[in-house]
Structure 1
Amino acid sequence: MLCIDELPISGKKLLFRVDFNVPIEDGVITDDHRIRAALPSIRYALDNGASVILCAHLGKPKGKVVPELSLGPVANRTGELLGLGVALIPGRIGDQAVKACADLQPGRVIMLDNLRFNPEETGKTPEERGNFGKLLASLADVYVNDAFGVAHRENASVVDVPKHAKVCCAGFLLQREYDYLGDALKAPKRPYVCVSGGAKVSTKLGILNNLLGKVDDIIIGGAMANTFLMAQGYNMGQSLVEPDLVDAASEIMRKAESMGSVLHLPVDFLYAKTPKAKQVEGVCTAKTVPTDALVLDIGPETITNFVSVLKLAKTVVWNGPMGLFETTAFAKGSLAVCKAIAGLDDSLTIVGGGDTDAVVNLLNMADKFSFISTGGGSFLEFLEGKELPAFTALKECMK
């Protein structure tokens, strides 16, 4: 897979697929992290005499032109960050976009409007997507994928453009994700610890099964731990559980023991009668969860246990909070885990997933981690050991 700095790009038009699906309230971007993450690649292209055509999606317009989901605010913010004007080509991609791209001069940037205004972008088959991918490819000399956030999506701009593009490559962001999540974890320094949290076992089954035998320790927190505890025969009161996955949880615990990965589960919790509670109503052990309450965070003994495992780690991959961290009273577990991982100065520490990133940002500790992935679903599928469609497409483009 080629990276942008391995190609001659002076005088070329570059079509960048970026992930600028940012939160917007009343026309104002509330978090521009995803835009900033792609700037190094864009600046490199401009500094080396290329012109840049940006394409991205926003929300789910489902093939219709929805004014509220236009990339206008995104184009404006991108221009501010780059220090130059970024013109938006509004609406669906057609003659106006083709002409604007043809007229684009070196050192300039334009942005195509929301890719998902075009129904072909999210077509279910290559036939439904193909012509759109061919149209996008025709707009530029080089296709650059720098959108890890959609690397797991079989969208036209991700998998079909490379089939028709003259030259394909990865941007610095996509390449960095590939290096950290792929190469860095092939021969990790040990102890290698996976921290998995969040609400559901169902979204993490593939990851847990893939990592068994590869990691030394698996720390499980959040509501997903409840299903494992139920599998051990504990009554979890009114807590969120997935009864249909009790057998799967039991199988993971059995396999972990036989494959040399130690599973660490909560031994105590903070609880309340409702998920809307603002205060902790009590602390209980895993064996004594009140029948009329639900657990909303790991307890003090569990925090001590988890932190003691993390202090020895040389490689950590973390996805998912330990509790309902959005409520201050139930954020202690997630924050304690975050601080413990951030304090590992000589270790490789990788974070992924929106909620996990939010915990890190809550403590302003982003600079304390080796790498923070920009992907949600892509990050999870990568950890499952899957070859993501975006990487497959770029590799096929080289043949």
Structure 2
Amino acid sequence: MASFRTLDNVDVKGKRVLLRVDLNVPMEETRVTDTTRIERILPTINEIAEKGGKVILLSHFGRPKGQRVDEDSLRQVLPTLEHYLKRKIAFADDCVGAPASAVVDAMKDGDIALLENTRFQKGEEKNDPAFVEEIAKLGDIFVHDAFSAAHRAHATTEGVAHRLPAYAGRTMQAELEALESSLTSPARPVMAIVGGAKVSTKLELLGNLVSKVQYLVIGGGMANTFLAAQGKAVGKSLCEHDLAGSARDILEKAKAANCVVVLPVDATVAQKFEEHAPSHIVSVDHVGENDMILDVGPKTVAHVEALLAQCRTLVWNGPFGAFELPPFDEGTNAVAQTAARLTVEGKLLSVAGGGDTVAALNQAHAGQEFSYVSTAGGAFLEWLEGKTLPGVAALQSQ
């Protein structure tokens, strides 16, 4: 991974610091229901403020598509942000123009201000040079702390980084260092666990991973497609039968790269997709025509855990089963807890990411013990696919 500058490389005292964060948090009415992203950015905000920088927060919220939409205003996030920072924050009703300039001009060293949703302006998603220039006028330096938005070439995620001296915030720094240690220059052997519903959404990911890891464990609904591609009956399970050829291609590519693909050998099946539906465990060679595979079975769990004990690095994206519905969370919970224990014992570096993955690991009470859990969905996935993230590349080109 190319080098990038961090807050260690700049004196922020007296400077106007445009700090790109991700405040696109889940809400119910006016209440933030998950504060993880807010908690992640606190160290960067506090460090800049304590060193005498003027912290000017930039973020998008929702998909207003260049229009001012009241329910997408960042003003509703302000009380939660103030609660966690334990201080008042100035708010500007726009991210450019007179409202933004007035708030920024009134700031003293160490002050914090939040500008309105950048996506209220059409120039944001278009990465319009004129809009980039308007944003850049408000700051002396740019700090990017929103890895979760780094896969977008937008004005405040990529454009401004080419206009002002640019640095990675502490959250971005931690994310990039975790990703580098997990796939770019990992301790081997490396295991990747890839689950989720559909192979079609993760073809590029699987194709990239087989050349980088020693063990590729495939779970979730996507494992059913691989089982079907091997001629096994999967009953009424979620399965993309039309991708059987793609599944076989990935297996061939893995064989050529000396990557061991691990598929379920047993499964927990039910005939209804609902919580606590009657279920039983079968070999994947004996799935009934009315059965739905909703989780991996204990033999599969034991096999994955045994391999994991031999590994030094784990990258995880996607659950093993329908973890939202007990008892179909057991496979994910068991492997997650084993990975957490190995991490705590210093035997494993574990990096996980993706919305369902974060939820599943938290449900298993294992997420906090992983080496790093990314809150980035699309950006994390694109990085695993081997794609260049514009927001990261902009930091590296300085």
Question: TM (normalized to structure 1)?
Answer: 0.94
Partner of 1:372: 373
Secondary structure at 1:295's aligned position in 2? strand
Q: Which amino acid aligns with 1:86?
A: I
Aligned partners of 1:144, 1:89: CA distance in 2, in Å?
19
Aligned partners of 2:102, 2:215: CA distance in 1, in Å?
56
> How far did residue 184 of structure 1 move?
4.7
Is 1:317 aligned to 2:315, yes or no? yes
Range that drifts further, 138-147 or 356-365:
356-365
Aligned partners of 1:81, 1:135: CA distance in 2, in Å?
30
Range that drifts further, 212-221 or 32-41:
212-221
Partner of 1:72: 75
Range that drifts further, 56-65 or 41-50:
56-65
Is 1:179 aligned to 2:180, yes or no? no
Q: Retained in 1: the 8 A contact 2:183–2:212?
A: no
> How far did residue 283 of structure 1 move?
2.2
Is 1:131 aligned to 2:134, yes or no? no
Range that drifts further, 306-315 or 138-147:
306-315
Q: Retained in 1: the 8 A contact 2:12–2:52?
A: yes
Q: Retained in 2: the 8 A contact 1:65–1:92?
A: no
Aligned partners of 2:278, 2:117: CA distance in 1, in Å?
44
Partner of 1:11: 14
Gaps of 5+ in 2: none
Aligned partners of 1:217, 1:365: CA distance in 2, in Å?
21
Partner of 2:280: 282
Distance 1:375 1:202, change over 3 A: same
Partner of 2:43: 40
Aligned partners of 2:324, 2:130: CA distance in 1, in Å?
44
Secondary structure at 1:88's aligned position in 2? strand
Secondary structure at 1:223's aligned position in 2? helix
Range that drifts further, 179-188 or 102-111:
179-188
Q: Retained in 1: the 8 A contact 2:216–2:262?
A: yes
Matching residue within 96, 101, 105 for 2:104: 101
Secondary structure at 1:58's aligned position in 2? coil
Matching residue within 111, 116, 119 for 1:116: 119
Partner of 2:389: 388
Aligned partners of 2:181, 2:133: CA distance in 1, in Å?
32
Aligned partners of 2:102, 2:207: CA distance in 1, in Å?
50
Instruction: State how 1:184-263 maps to structure 2 within 5 Å.
Output: 184-263=182-261
Partner of 1:49: 52
Secondary structure at 1:202's aligned position in 2? helix
Q: Retained in 1: the 8 A contact 2:182–2:351?
A: no
Distance 1:114 1:83, change over 3 A: same
Aligned partners of 1:377, 1:14: CA distance in 2, in Å?
26
> How far did residue 204 of structure 1 move?
2.0
Aligned partners of 2:274, 2:61: CA distance in 1, in Å?
30
Partner of 2:139: 140
Secondary structure at 1:195's aligned position in 2? strand
Partner of 1:292: 290
Q: Which amino acid aligns with 2:361?
A: V
Q: Retained in 2: the 8 A contact 1:137–1:161?
A: yes
Aligned partners of 1:384, 1:47: CA distance in 2, in Å?
38
> How far did residue 337 of structure 1 move?
1.2
The Cα offsets for residues 276-314 of structure 1, whole Å up to 9 and x where unpaired, read as: 353243322212222223211111221111111112211
Aligned residue pair count: 392
Distance 1:183 1:366, change over 3 A: closer
Aligned partners of 2:377, 2:319: CA distance in 1, in Å?
14
Q: Which amino acid aligns with 1:22?
A: V
Gaps of 5+ in 1: none
Is 1:25 aligned to 2:23, yes or no? no
Q: Retained in 2: the 8 A contact 1:324–1:330?
A: yes
Q: Which amino acid aligns with 1:112?
A: L
Q: Retained in 2: the 8 A contact 1:272–1:295?
A: yes
Secondary structure at 1:228's aligned position in 2? helix
Partner of 2:325: 327
Aligned partners of 2:86, 2:55: CA distance in 1, in Å?
14
Matching residue within 152, 167, 170 for 1:169: 167
Aligned partners of 1:364, 1:303: CA distance in 2, in Å?
18
Q: Percent identity?
A: 39
Aligned partners of 1:136, 1:70: CA distance in 2, in Å?
18
> How far did residue 338 of structure 1 move?
0.4
Partner of 1:352: 353
Q: Retained in 1: the 8 A contact 2:25–2:37?
A: yes
Secondary structure at 1:110's aligned position in 2? strand
> How far did residue 92 of structure 1 move?
5.9
Q: Retained in 2: the 8 A contact 1:318–1:351?
A: yes
Is 1:90 aligned to 2:89, yes or no? no
Question: TM (normalized to structure 2)?
Answer: 0.95
Aligned partners of 1:3, 1:193: CA distance in 2, in Å?
30
Range that drifts further, 224-233 or 61-70:
61-70
Partner of 1:152: 151
